[in-house]
């Protein structure tokens, strides 16, 4: 695992100019983030039709396959997937336990619960950042071992406890703050600590508490890597701490840009908003003589239907920009926004090819930290990426 991390770290360090940029801002510039390097890559990008760009955006595997022709080693960095053992897939889950759980979320919980039970150590479960205890509900029902569900929001604790009591499950909800050191008292050497999509510093806290208490096992699927208190990422493992990569909070968002939610309507809505934002940026730059990009606050999606002119009036008002739009060719700037949007989408395709590798770097850092603490560790995928792109799970046991 350490050898894989070192290889991955070296690859990401050498290819920084192809993923360490913001496509939204890069499309406003005349030069590409990687300059004149890789002219074949640039030619391929500009030869793509809009339909082909959309196709690659929705098919990461196909995109990775094509980009591997430009970046030797891109495909080789992928993590092997080996969780299709029949004993995992045949685990029978209790009926009615999916009550109130959205379909895609249930798929994720069902898939990861099979992996967690297969790797179970200890005599009790600790569900970290539990929400309503959906995952703990399954673990308690299948193993009949006690589950402590730790959650910050009191209303979720109340709702989860009521549901657990109705199902007669051995679950106890505990309301608390993960950053309060007293939370460490929930962990002991008989605990199997678990977390599904715990964010940034929250899953890092769990790992610190669990290893300090010599927990029997630790299993987690990380998410929202950018939700950290500091502006830069702090590596957990010794080997990652020696890396030249100093990741900013903004760069930690990159793995999260692949989503499976929404549909055609959401895609069109996003395109319209980006066209308007980029068009307005060009407008205030050329007509309003504003230097640099002016960030515009979020807008109600329904307001986008009022058209580009209304968007510009709203944005100028929000930012206290005095502009007379009477003699401005707004259609020209909307068209310019449209051109920049597709430039942004093309540029971001290259960046997209590195998203999974950056996520692996972050996950392997945690896995190596657990190894350094004396745990045996396995990293794998627990479900298809169509259920969630955040499908990596780290299992650690004594």
pLDDT in tens, 212-269: 999 999 999 999 999 999 999 999 999 999 999 999 999 999 998 876 656 788 889 9
pLDDT of residue 90: 58
pLDDT of residue 294: 87
CB atoms within 10 A of CB 69: 12
pLDDT of residue 219: 97
Q: Name the more confident of 37 and 168.
A: 168
pLDDT of 83 strictly over 90: no
Q: What is the mean pLDDT of residues 336-340?
A: 97
Residue pLDDT, tens place only, 141-174: 999 999 999 999 999 999 999 999 999 999 999 9
Q: What is the mean pLDDT of residues 82-111?
A: 70
CA pair distance 175, 186, nearest whole angstrom: 11
For the stretch 26-55, what's the b/e string if a residue is b when 16 or more beta carbons lie within 10 angstroms of its beta carbon? Answer: bbeeeebbbeeebeebbebbeebeeeebee
Domains and CATH numbers, the chain: 2-72+262-352 (no CATH), 86-257+356-397 (3.40.50.150)
- Of 136-140, 183-187, 195-199, 283-287, the range with the lowest mean pLDDT is 283-287
Three-state DSSP class for residue 22: coil
pLDDT of 341 strictly over 80: yes
Which residues fall within 8 angstroms of residue 284, CB to CB, at 6 or more apart? 290, 294, 316, 321, 323
Q: Name the more confident of 101 and 361.
A: 361
pLDDT of residue 80: 54
- CA neighbours within 13 Å on the CB side: how many for 214? 1
CA pair distance 297, 250, nearest whole angstrom: 17
Q: Pick from 78, 67, 76, 75: which is nearest to 34 by CA? A: 67
Between the CA atoms of 379, 384, 387 and 390, what dihedral angle is there, to the nearest 10 degrees?
30
Contact present, 121 and 192 (Cβ < 8 Å): yes
Three-state DSSP class for residue 275: helix
Alpha helices (H) along the chain? 2-14, 23-26, 39-47, 50-58, 60-67, 86-89, 103-118, 134-143, 154-166, 200-212, 238-241, 264-286, 308-318, 330-352, 355-372
Mean pLDDT of all residues belonging to the chain: 91
């Amino acid at each position: 695992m350490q050898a894989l991390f070192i290889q991955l770290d070296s690859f990401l360090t050498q290819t920084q100019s192809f993923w360490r940029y913001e496509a939204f801002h890069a499309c406003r510039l005349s030069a590409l983030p990687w300059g004149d390097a890789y002219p074949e890559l640039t030619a391929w990008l500009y030869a793509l039709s809009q339909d082909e760009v959309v196709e690659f955006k929705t098919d990461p595997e196909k995109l990775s396959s094509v980009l591997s022709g430009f970046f030797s080693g891109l495909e080789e960095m992928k993590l092997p997937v080996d969780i299709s053992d029949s004993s995992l897939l045949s685990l029978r889950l209790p009926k009615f336990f999916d009550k109130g759980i959205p379909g895609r979320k249930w798929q994720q919980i069902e898939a990861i619960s099979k992996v967690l039970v297969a790797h179970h150590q200890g005599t009790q479960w600790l569900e970290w950042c539990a929400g309503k205890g959906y995952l703990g509900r399954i673990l308690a029902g299948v193993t009949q071992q006690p589950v402590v569900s730790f959650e910050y929001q009191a209303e979720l604790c109340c709702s989860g406890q009521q549901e657990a009591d109705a199902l007669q499950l051995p679950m106890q909800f505990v309301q608390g703050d993960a950053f309060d050191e007293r939370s460490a008292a929930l962990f002991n050497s008989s605990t199997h600590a678990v977390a599904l999509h715990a964010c940034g510093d929250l899953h890092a806290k769990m790992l610190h508490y669990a290893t300090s208490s010599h927990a029997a096992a630790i299993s987690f699927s990380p998410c929202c890597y950018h939700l950290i208190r500091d502006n830069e990422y702090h590596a957990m493992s010794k080997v990652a701490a020696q890396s030249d990569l100093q990741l900013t909070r903004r760069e930690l968002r990159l793995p999260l840009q692949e989503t499976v939610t929404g549909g055609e309507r959401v895609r069109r809505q996003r395109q319209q908003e980006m066209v308007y934002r980029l068009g307005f940026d060009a407008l205030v730059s050329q007509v309003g003589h504003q230097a640099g990009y002016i960030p515009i606050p979020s807008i109600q999606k329904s307001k986008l239907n009022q058209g580009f002119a209304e968007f510009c009036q709203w944005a100028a008002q929000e930012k206290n920009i005095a502009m007379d739009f009477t003699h401005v060719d707004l259609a020209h700037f909307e068209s310019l926004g449209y051109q920049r949007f597709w430039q942004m989408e093309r540029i971001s395709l290259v960046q997209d090819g590195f998203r999974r590798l950056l996520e692996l770097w972050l996950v392997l850092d945690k896995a190596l930290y657990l190894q350094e603490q004396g745990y045996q560790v396995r990293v794998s995928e627990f479900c298809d990426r169509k259920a969630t792109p955040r499908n990596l799970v780290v299992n650690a046991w004594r």
